Structure 1
Amino acid sequence: MEWNIAAEAISLVMIGIIGVYARKGSHLPTLKNRIFQWCLTVTFSAIFTNILSTIMIQQYRVVPIWLTWIVTMVYFVLTPLMGMAYFLYTVSVIYTESPQVKKIMAVGIIPGAFYAVIVLSNPFNRLLFDINRSDGYTRGPLIPVTYLIFYAYCLASIALTLVNYKRIDRKIYRILAAFPILAVAVIIIQEMYPEVILSGSAATCALLIIYLHLQNKQISVDYLTNVPNRQELLNMLKIMIKKDPGRRFTLLVVSLRDFRQVNNTCGQQKGDEFLKMVCRFLCEAGPAENVYRFNGDEFALLFPEAEDDKIRRCVETIQKRMEQPWQSGNYRFRLSVVMGAIRHNEEETLEDTISAIEYAVFQAKSGKCGAICYCDRAMMKKLERRTQIVRNLKEQLEQQSFEMYYQPIYSVEKSCFAHAESLMRIPHSPIGPIYPDEFIPIAEETGLIVDITYVVLDKVCRFLNLLLEKEIPIESIHVNFSAMQFSQPDLAQRVLEIISRNHTPMSAIKIEFTESTLAESTQAVTEFTLRMLEHGIKMGLDDFGTGYSNIATVINIPFGTVKLDKSLVWVSMENEKSALAVKNLSRTFKELGMKVVAEGVETEEQRKLVVDFGVDQIQGYFYAKPMPEGEMEEFMLRREWPSE
């Protein structure tokens, strides 16, 4: 019989191409990746020996019989075992994290091993095939076993996929179910047209589907820099921690500072060129096979062993290079970086490791630890506390259980407490009291401050309603808004909806924000202020004098009040020139129609000073500390105003 091996030759080329690209993909030492490489090797070898065997059988009078026997025997062993390889791959995907994976694989190998015994005994019994000088190649009575083994493994793959339908991702489920069905279909065509050899084509189609959807390097490699991506790093760390929890590897993250300015100056495309240049440099300076793109402008360097000298040299090399300019075309920039580093210890999970390195980078960016921040035991404790605070904030946000405190604000003109500032407090938590100077920055960093502020506003509205129902006179309560609040596109709508839902007088709410907020979001603050004024809601500028904004910006926004930062009050106590400047500043704000509030007043001397400044309202411990709702209500009922 003359066989057509054209399809096999094409399949061999395709397998070779897949193999080349697959080696550029994920380098994770996972069972799935190892078996896929084995699938490639087995399939390539099976197709190659199939083609070689076919040629040798057709030339059996010329080629030595013993050599033809050996090649054909190898082909007969490998071809059905391709099905076993795909079955084992299916098992590795479905049972990746299961301790049963080795047991299932051991059982799955039994039919293949049994078949291999049949092939190896064939020279003695000729049950599968025979090759001799007179007849050439002839089939034996057990030749159907070859196909049955392949079918059995394909059906086992399908069955295993169906049984585990609920535990598999839908996309992976479709792929695992599709490739064995396709392979069976091709083999059926092979039986219908025995002169056309298609067994290799069936295997190639299956491998191509697996490669494109499950093993493609695009899944694990960053498209721009061609280094492994963040997910690949997470997978690698997960494997290292699981395999050897006590392994003391080091993770270093290099973060480019203000890289957005590069993109703004020369465009995204040129900015990408600079990123690729930095990445190539890091691959040369650090562990080339363990450089990852961690985030947009951040790269991670993984040192599998605790090699202090090597790590130190790497850091020094990076720092020295970053002192020099980078050039691409006509553009030349100095790219400053900060670095975070952590050494893993056996007590840390993957989540702990990633949280720690991100915290270290954040600390480095904040400038608190210099250009490089090493996340040591002390910082890990801080991070653990930060995690607990975040958890507590989320729980309290979900339950809306924040405790509200209020600090009365004294009206100089009316000689009474006509206003108050709302302050959120966490006096009780599993880790004890958490103070605002600790939880407010964390709430802002995590973005929780946005929803927290809406909850606070709702609670303030309810408290105002309570006071008004009891005919306790109060003109307004101040609510603080962070800069992040002004990044919300529906801010005005949400604020108006909360106040309206509570049927609280719009004029009883005064929204305050700091100079830093005004400096960061001038346009958004201005638009929001004008929108609120349309509804009778007044705005106040908090902590004026901390140096974030200029006077021109302040006077162009229609604030109801300007609150002088306590630092201005305190410095005025010590310096006559400062006192004169603050006094004139207060007069200017008042002439512009704004009320001036002095905060941080704690002594009689300070009270007299700010009264001399001509301020309208005074806030501070001299009059009252922040107090819970119940105490605030009693305080307002007593109406014990201090005398001048």
Structure 2
Amino acid sequence: MNDNLFHIAFYCATILVGLTAIIYTNLQKRTDRRQNRIFLFMNYVVLFNAITCLCSEFIELYRHFFLRGDGLIMLFQYVYFLVHTPIAAIFLYYVLTVTGSIRNKSVFSKILYLIPLCLTEFLVLTNPVTHFVYYYSEGMQFNRSWGEIIIYLVSIAYTVFAFICLMMSWNALTRRRRWAIVYFFILTIIGVVVQFLDISIKSELFAESIALIGLMLAVENEDDRLDAETDFYNRNALKMDVESLLTKKNVFYIVCVKITNIDSVRRITGLSNADEIVQEVAVFLKTLLPRYYIYHTDPNTMLLLVKEDDFINSELEALTIAEDIDCRFKSEWTVHGVQMKLSAVTIVASIPMHIHTLADLMYMIDTPVPKDIDRTILRNGDLKFLTRRAEVETAITEGLKQGNFEVYYQPTYCSDGVTLHGAEALIRLHDPKLGDLFPDEFIPIAEQTGYIDDIDDYVLNEVCAFLQSGEPTRLGMECINVNLSVVQCMQDKFVERIRGIVDSYGISKSLINFEITESVSASDYELLSKVITSLKENGFQFSMDDYGTGYSNMHSLFSLSFDIVKIDKSILWDAENSELGEIILESCIHMIKQMKRKILVEGVETKKHVEKLKKLGVDYYQGYFFSKPITKTELLSYCISR
């Protein structure tokens, strides 16, 4: 009886764990992908097996209540083997699906995979007659036969093959997915081996159910890959998925939708958040492709993946989707009862025909569509602007060698609108062939190619040399703001390098105020917090740039120790166009003031702006009302003339 109770406890725990995984997966509504359905099916198999085993244990424990207890026990045992035998093959299928390897398998190879499974299932099906797998001796004593050894060997073969497939796709998986699947292997093998060596320890099903919970949390749960507003995948998910496809040399098409007038629509309609517009577009895009093929990469851009193995003609499908999108954007959209006309450009590109690397794709996403293009669907010859990436990369390398970079400065003013506070250092690139290039174009490429370190160091050295001259202090500047690349500050010994550069000029560190863009700073709060804390301890100041444009501004504002919060110009401009925008501006300022942080508002372009912000108690202003970005020489002349 004690053994039966011990077994019942194991099976009850297995049922509870299995039900938890099934219920949680369904509540998350992540059941539309093939891998989701396979995962649920494995859970159903383990749950069903646990229930049949639990019934057998109860019948054996209370045999005197059942007239045909022996027959029921044999029936449940038969059903258990019949249902549980394919579990290793199903797991192999799951691994092939998660890694994407299933797409590369021929029909013949898939049939070969099924042959061992069919053999073991045949042994189980015929067991009541042949007893090849197991049999019962007198006293209902369970005995293994050679067929069960075959089933174990086949399961091991499937598991080993799954592990090999995992190793071959190792670079295509995220670190979390790799180790979660390895954990499944190890835990399941331990449970199977223990039960194989000692049949009285019913650990196999329990180990499988626990491992499935691990898979659910680490592989099936995709909260970190999802954009909360649209339920599409986010930018990081796109990078991981495309890198995986490139690793496997898959051919696929990209349909990239860029909404080109979203900022002007927000101002005209009074809608303060672009997400409300994007949500409406998202609803439409879900009618064209399943949501797991759609990515929201930035506030104005969404991207659809059309994979070659999902369609008979992926190129034709991609063009059809692009035409449907183009047609829809010719009609009006309705957001909260407001009618609006959205303009969009749809780009259709092939990987690897038009786009060869992940960096090329991210450049396409981040680069504005050239203004001289008058078509709304771009493909083939229209994509020549993508070759500009190579030209810009050359301009960066030559610019660093030939000294074609120059630091511009945009003044910032105190609350009275008269007293100079400081300036923001802004980098420009003067290329003999391409002309003047702005940071929006060359900084993303510099980050991807590794030149960002040289550019950031150049800006810091120029600012330090300017401060060393003593001119900024004589003009009354309290500090100069220097934009900090998060890519750079993630590197080892970053703080030491920055401190070394500034110390070499013998200037006060308090004269430098580093800026970090709010939406970027949300990427790694813990590491950035350590960097900011360390630099502040050395005397530097810190500002949050573009507050109000990112997805996690509240988190970053509370988590990171900023001295100044720079409110993005869009918040100020929205306050001019709607009562809601004015409420948002006032609320932002009130909240930041309560947190004892200084406030700088960007985009100040009129005297009316200055008067409004003065009433709200803003500390500093920056914008074209005072000055556009100008060279160092022009800055000195400008400040003296005022």
TM-score, normalised with respect to structure 2: 0.51
Pair 1:44 & 2:34 matched: no
Q: Are residues 499 and 338 of structure 1, via their aligned partners in 2, closer, same or farther at CA, if it must alter by over 3 Å? A: farther
Question: Structure 1: which 5+ runs fail to align?
Answer: 407-422, 427-432, 463-484, 503-519, 526-547, 564-588, 596-644
Q: 2:345 aligns with which of 339, 345, 355?
A: 339
User: 1:315 offset after TM fit, Å?
Assistant: 2.6
User: 2:586 maps to what in 1?
Assistant: none
Q: 2:283 aligns with which of 280, 283, 298?
A: 280
| SS in structure 2 at match of 1:396 | helix
| SS in structure 2 at match of 1:320 | coil
User: 2:365 maps to what in 1?
Assistant: 358
Q: 1:391 aligns with which of 390, 393, 415?
A: 393
User: 1:511 maps to what in 2?
Assistant: none
Q: 1:488 aligns with which of 483, 496, 514?
A: 483
Equivalences for residues 315-326 of structure 1 within 5 A:
315-322=326-333, 324=334, 326=335
Q: Are residues 337 and 69 of structure 1, via their aligned partners in 2, closer, same or farther at CA, if it must alter by over 3 Å? A: farther
Q: 2:316 aligns with which of 306, 313, 333?
A: 306
Q: Is the 8 A contact 1:402 1:425 kept in 2?
A: no
Q: Is the 8 A contact 1:91 1:104 kept in 2?
A: no
Q: Are residues 501 and 16 of structure 1, via their aligned partners in 2, closer, same or farther at CA, if it must alter by over 3 Å? A: closer
Q: Is the 8 A contact 1:179 1:206 kept in 2?
A: yes
C-alpha distance in 2, partners of 1:561/1:164?
Answer: 59
Q: Are residues 440 and 182 of structure 1, via their aligned partners in 2, closer, same or farther at CA, if it must alter by over 3 Å? A: closer
Q: Is the 8 A contact 1:220 1:231 kept in 2?
A: yes
User: 1:213 offset after TM fit, Å?
Assistant: 0.6
Q: Are residues 276 and 247 of structure 1, via their aligned partners in 2, closer, same or farther at CA, if it must alter by over 3 Å? A: closer
Q: Is the 8 A contact 2:239 2:358 kept in 1?
A: no
Q: Are residues 129 and 376 of structure 1, via their aligned partners in 2, closer, same or farther at CA, if it must alter by over 3 Å? A: closer
C-alpha distance in 2, partners of 1:75/1:231?
Answer: 42
User: 2:557 maps to what in 1?
Assistant: none
C-alpha distance in 1, partners of 2:93/2:253?
Answer: 33
User: 2:336 maps to what in 1?
Assistant: 327
Q: Is the 8 A contact 1:341 1:374 kept in 2?
A: yes
C-alpha distance in 2, partners of 1:424/1:558?
Answer: 12
User: 2:143 maps to what in 1?
Assistant: 139
C-alpha distance in 2, partners of 1:239/1:500?
Answer: 44
User: 1:602 maps to what in 2?
Assistant: none
User: 1:295 offset after TM fit, Å?
Assistant: 1.9
Q: Are residues 47 and 129 of structure 1, via their aligned partners in 2, closer, same or farther at CA, if it must alter by over 3 Å? A: farther
Question: Residue type matched to 1:321 in 2?
Answer: E
C-alpha distance in 2, partners of 1:405/1:226?
Answer: 41
Pair 1:181 & 2:186 matched: yes
Question: Residue type matched to 1:436 in 2?
Answer: G
Pair 1:434 & 2:401 matched: no
C-alpha distance in 2, partners of 1:333/1:277?
Answer: 12
| SS in structure 1 at match of 2:295 | strand
C-alpha distance in 2, partners of 1:337/1:150?
Answer: 58
Alignment RMSD: 6.3
Q: Is the 8 A contact 1:43 1:82 kept in 2?
A: no
User: 1:129 maps to what in 2?
Assistant: 134
Equivalences for residues 388-467 of structure 1 within 5 A:
388-396=390-398, 400-402=400-402, 434-437=433-436, 442-443=441-442
Identical columns (%): 13
| SS in structure 2 at match of 1:176 | helix
Q: Are residues 434 and 12 of structure 1, via their aligned partners in 2, closer, same or farther at CA, if it must alter by over 3 Å? A: same
Equivalences for residues 137-286 of structure 1 within 5 A:
138-142=142-146, 145=149, 148-149=152-153, 152=156, 156=160, 171-186=176-191, 198-233=203-238, 250-254=255-259, 257-258=262-263, 275-283=278-286, 286=288
Aligned length: 460
| SS in structure 2 at match of 1:183 | helix
Q: Are residues 497 and 454 of structure 1, via their aligned partners in 2, closer, same or farther at CA, if it must alter by over 3 Å? A: same
Q: Deviation per CA, 1:132-167: give whole Å up to 9, x if none.
A: 9x9667434458738955984698489869988996
Question: Residue type matched to 2:336 in 1?
Answer: Q
- Higher Cα radius of gyration: 1
| SS in structure 1 at match of 2:217 | helix
Q: Is the 8 A contact 2:332 2:341 kept in 1?
A: no
Q: Are residues 169 and 127 of structure 1, via their aligned partners in 2, closer, same or farther at CA, if it must alter by over 3 Å? A: same
235-244 vs 11-20, which deviates more?
Answer: 235-244
Q: Is the 8 A contact 2:227 2:234 kept in 1?
A: yes
Q: 2:384 aligns with which of 381, 406, 430?
A: 381
User: 1:382 offset after TM fit, Å?
Assistant: 3.0
C-alpha distance in 1, partners of 2:31/2:207?
Answer: 23
C-alpha distance in 2, partners of 1:388/1:42?
Answer: 48
Q: Is the 8 A contact 1:340 1:375 kept in 2?
A: yes
Q: Is the 8 A contact 1:220 1:229 kept in 2?
A: yes
Q: Deviation per CA, 1:580-604: give whole Å up to 9, x if none.
A: xxxxxxxxx99x9769xxxxxxxxx
C-alpha distance in 1, partners of 2:155/2:351?
Answer: 48
C-alpha distance in 2, partners of 1:163/1:282?
Answer: 35
User: 1:209 offset after TM fit, Å?
Assistant: 0.6
C-alpha distance in 2, partners of 1:250/1:558?
Answer: 41
User: 1:600 maps to what in 2?
Assistant: none
C-alpha distance in 2, partners of 1:424/1:267?
Answer: 34
Q: Deviation per CA, 1:341-381: give whole Å up to 9, x if none.
A: 2243772246487357426x6126xx5446x7433444422
Pair 1:76 & 2:81 matched: yes
C-alpha distance in 1, partners of 2:104/2:32?
Answer: 23
Q: Is the 8 A contact 2:235 2:296 kept in 1?
A: yes
Q: Are residues 122 and 73 of structure 1, via their aligned partners in 2, closer, same or farther at CA, if it must alter by over 3 Å? A: same
Q: Are residues 487 and 141 of structure 1, via their aligned partners in 2, closer, same or farther at CA, if it must alter by over 3 Å? A: same
Question: Residue type matched to 1:327 in 2?
Answer: H
User: 1:24 offset after TM fit, Å?
Assistant: 1.7
Q: Are residues 119 and 436 of structure 1, via their aligned partners in 2, closer, same or farther at CA, if it must alter by over 3 Å? A: same
User: 1:45 offset after TM fit, Å?
Assistant: 2.9
TM-score, normalised with respect to structure 1: 0.51
C-alpha distance in 2, partners of 1:184/1:498?
Answer: 57
Q: Are residues 129 and 70 of structure 1, via their aligned partners in 2, closer, same or farther at CA, if it must alter by over 3 Å? A: same
C-alpha distance in 1, partners of 2:316/2:481?
Answer: 45
Q: Are residues 204 and 153 of structure 1, via their aligned partners in 2, closer, same or farther at CA, if it must alter by over 3 Å? A: farther
User: 2:524 maps to what in 1?
Assistant: none
C-alpha distance in 2, partners of 1:43/1:441?
Answer: 48
C-alpha distance in 2, partners of 1:83/1:221?
Answer: 30
User: 2:30 maps to what in 1?
Assistant: 24
Q: Are residues 499 and 452 of structure 1, via their aligned partners in 2, closer, same or farther at CA, if it must alter by over 3 Å? A: farther
183-192 vs 173-182, which deviates more?
Answer: 183-192
User: 1:327 offset after TM fit, Å?
Assistant: 2.5
C-alpha distance in 2, partners of 1:288/1:98?
Answer: 18
| SS in structure 1 at match of 2:213 | helix
